[in-house]
Amino acid sequence: MSDIKNSPAATPEQRENKILMVAMGIMVVICIVLAILGFCFLNKPKDIVEGQADATSIRISGKLPGRVMKIYVHEGDLVKAGDTLVHIHSSLVDAKLMQAEGMETVARTQNQKVDAGTRKQIVQAARDLVSQAEAAVGITRKTYTRMQNLFNEGVVSEQKRDEAKAAYDAAVAAHKAAQSQLDLAVSGAQKEDKESAAAMVDVAKGGVAEVQSLLEDQYLLAPCDGQIDAVYPEESELVSLGAPIMSLLKLSDKWVTFNVREELLNDMPMGGEIEIMIPALDQKKTKAKIYYIRDLGTYATWQATKATGQWDSKTFEVKARTIDSIPALRPGMSVVYFK
């Protein structure tokens, strides 16, 4: 009794440490109780499969290499089908068009010349040659007849008669040749020449059409309604043949994509409907219909960690379209499916 009375009283520091220890003990007890309650009463969370939204992206490009003169749209702009997007100019193609049109003019002129036939002056000259040949035939025939009569009377020698005969035969041959030249001049070009000239016109037309087809792409138009996603070159830059100028998102064709292990495919059948949640749209819930399932290949296979009791699991790409139209759904947004 005397010892208790003689013991010194607890200091404020000791009392503070004691209170702190009691508080920590109470917190530990509360955490243990909450853990036990959670283990006993809370439900097991659902399996979550996370994917993302996507949309058709169209790359705008053309056949015309040249310089970007004017870009009529900006990234984020909404466009309609047929709207002008960009103007590309090529002085080289313009020069080729002038050359092709010049070749077409030459081919047309040549074809008209062939169709018109031989000039009148040439035909008249051929007629004059025929007339001269006819006159020569008449004179040599009379000379030959006279010489033949004199030879029969024994007045001239056989040589003189033969010379007159040779002159007559030569005149006849010259007449035939002149007549052939006249016939050619009158009939004009041959059928093959006319067909060849007409074919050259068609070839020249094809050259012009080829260059014009390139020039059609000097103004690139929007192939469908959508939104400009990205513009690659700047104005005044050179672009090559087929180089992408910009990309266009076709917002009317959107879907969601999930990469899932094959064990989950039983809950995601082809043509089936699943409920999804879009966190970016205030956790909006909606339904989507699966239309595409494809194996991603061996590079996406989940390898088993044990030799027995486990097996490899492949990854499949699953695509689905929302049943309701959601204009606010943007490509790249996260989409969650609760199994």
pTM: 0.52
HSE (side-chain half, CA atoms, 13 Å) at 20: 6
How many Cβ atoms are within 10 Å of 184's Cβ, its own excluded? 15
Using DSSP's 3-state secondary structure scheme, residue 272 falls into coil
In Å, the largest CA–CA distance within the chain is 202
Burial readout 308-337 (b: 16 or more C-beta within 10 A, e: otherwise):
eeeeeebbbbbbbebeeebeebbbebebbb
Residue 7: the pLDDT is 46
Tens-digit pLDDT string for the chain (339 aa): 444 444 455 577 777 777 777 778 788 888 887 777 666 655 544 568 899 999 999 999 988 888 899 999 999 999 999 999 998 887 777 667 677 777 777 767 766 665 555 456 666 676 777 787 787 778 888 887 887 887 787 777 777 777 777 777 877 887 777 777 766 656 554 555 556 666 676 776 776 677 666 667 788 889 999 999 999 999 989 888 888 999 999 988 999 999 988 888 888 899 999 999 999 999 999 999 999 999 887 665 655 555 555 667 888 999 999 999 898 898 889 999 987
Contact yes or no for 321/258 (Cβ under 8 A): no
Phi, psi dihedrals of residue 58, rounded to the nearest 5°: -110, 125
Contact yes or no for 318/293 (Cβ under 8 A): yes
Residue 279: the pLDDT is 92
**Among the listed residues 330, 243, 335, 237, the one whose alpha carbon sits nearest the alpha carbon of residue 285:** 335
**Among the listed residues 87, 96, 97, 36, the one whose alpha carbon sits nearest the alpha carbon of residue 66:** 87
- Report which secondary-structure segment, H or E, holds 316: strand 315-322
Residues 89 and 133: their CA atoms lie apart, in Å, by 66
- Report which secondary-structure segment, H or E, holds 131: helix 120-153
Q: 278 — alpha (psi -120 to 50), left (phi > 0) or beta?
A: beta
Q: What torsion, rounded to 10 degrees, do the Cα atoms 281, 286, 291, 292 define?
A: 50
In the chain the domains, ranked by start, together with CATH numbers, are 48-55+251-338 (2.40.30.170), 118-188 (1.10.287.470)
Q: Which residues contact 192 (CB under 8 A, 6 or more apart)?
A: none
198 burial class (0-12, 13-18, 19+ CB within 10 angstroms)? Answer: middle
Task: Report which DSSP code applies to 300.
Answer: G
Contact yes or no for 119/186 (Cβ under 8 A): no
Task: Report which DSSP code applies to 302.
Answer: B
Using DSSP's 3-state secondary structure scheme, residue 257 falls into strand
